Amino acid sequence: MKFIIYNGSLKADAESNTFTVCKMTQLAFEKMGHECEVITMRDLDYEGSTSDVNDELKPHIMKMFKADGVIFATPIWWGNHSCHIQAMLERLDVIYSWAKDNKHQPFYNKVFGTLVSGGGDGFQHIHGVLYSAASNFGFTVPPQCNIESKAQGMDEITQDDDTVNQVKNCTINMVTWAKILKEGNPTVSARHGSVDINENLDEAISWQKLRQAGAVMPYLYSSPEAKYPDPKQDPEFYRKSGVSPAMAGKNIPPDRKQPNIITSINLKAGIGKKPGEKLTPLPGMSPVAWQKYMDASWQGIKQNAAAGDPKAKEKFDQIKQAAKDAGMPIMEGRHGSVDVNED
């Protein structure tokens, strides 16, 4: 198997206590028959960025995708990890975005460890920060995969029993768990593999039953306030919709292909009863068409609500409440996962 140690020391290798422990760790992996590479970040010309940048660091970041395990190594600087390790966390932010948005988790079956050297406080704080980041990136953090070396100088470090034992524990545990993950390949059954938990939960929502219960229904709604915008104020609307700018100021007619989603909450609030309003049920919409329409609409409502759109959040809450009032609660959170509180 292949392991990579990213050395975040600010000192040259010959003067670095962190590098000395990195080499001890590399040797431990190699003695177990595995490949291990130490990459000293201070030797590279790279940019601090949260974007994908073509510089000397990028090829070494790409090596993570083929490695079985990764260690971030850092000295303690004013109680924190080094600027090089911070730069690495920032460069991996795109991985976090992939994982968070359910798109891709390239590190899902890879292990992660930490190596911290220094003579003062800060070990647990740094381990915690790096472990949290690694978990969000998708790594698995096995037990006791954190090396802490308080010894100073090459001779003292290599003879320090505590450092030696921690190196042994870390490397053995990383190899053990890397084998488990490689053989079991959890990516196949994980949410980013063949089974999409979020989609399965969405499919469990029977919009037709909610429609029959009078909770969530398709209506055609027209309002005197719904008028085509001023082309000067909203030229993008006319560009995307294909509507002639000559329609500006006229009432927008309801679209049978995109009916309004009306809930029992809306009806209780008196929607459609104001002067000039018109609310017409759409019984002709087939159950299949309604299910497809609501599946797509529900995804959009959730995404917009999560992004902070107040109207989407209001509609999201109305639909959930209407379903709950009808005795058919939607067991789903705003972002598509199971709502633990309701469960």
pLDDT 10s digits, 310-328: 989 999 999 999 998 998 8
pLDDT tens digits, one per residue of 5-30: 999 999 998 889 999 999 999 999 99
pLDDT band at 229 (very low <50, low <70, confident <90, very high): confident
pLDDT band at 331 (very low <50, low <70, confident <90, very high): low
User: Would the CA dihedral through 9, 36, 70, 39 be positive or negative?
Assistant: positive
pLDDT at residue 101, as a whole number: 58
Most confident of 49-58, 227-236, 261-270: 261-270
What value does the mean pLDDT take over residues 35-44? 95
Statement: residue 31 has pLDDT above 90? yes
SS (H, E, C) 155-195: HHHHHCHHHHHHHHHHHHHHHHHHHHHHHHCHHHCCCCCCC
For the chain, first and last CA: distance in Å?
Answer: 42
Statement: residue 84 has pLDDT above 50? yes
pLDDT tens digits, one per residue of 102-138: 556 778 889 999 999 987 677 889 999 999 999 888 8
In the structure encoding, which two tokens stand for residue 36, read together? 């291990």
pLDDT band at 161 (very low <50, low <70, confident <90, very high): very high
Distances (CA, A) of 219 to 39, 260, 312, 323, 325: 62, 5, 18, 17, 20
Q: Which residues pair with 281 in a beta bridge?
A: 219
Q: Share the mean pLDDT of the chain.
A: 83
Amino acid at 51: S
pLDDT at residue 254, as a whole number: 66
What value does the mean pLDDT take over residues 275-293? 83
pLDDT at residue 106, as a whole number: 77
For the whole prediction, is pTM greater than 0.75?
Answer: no
Distances (CA, A) of 113 to 24, 148, 342: 14, 11, 36
Most confident of 17-31, 39-53, 80-94, 328-342: 17-31
Statement: residue 146 has pLDDT above 60? yes
Distances (CA, A) of 189 to 33, 105, 109, 132, 194: 29, 13, 11, 23, 6
Quote the CA–CA distance of 305 and 317 in Å, as a whole number. Answer: 9
Quote the CA–CA distance of 304 and 316 in Å, as a whole number. Answer: 9
Domains and CATH numbers, the chain: 2-188 (3.40.50.360), 197-325 (no CATH)
pLDDT at residue 29, as a whole number: 95
Statement: residue 283 has pLDDT above 50? yes
Note whether 36 and 47 are within 8 A (CB).
Answer: no
Q: Tell me what percent of the residues of the chain surpass a pLDDT of 70.
A: 87
pLDDT at residue 335, as a whole number: 38
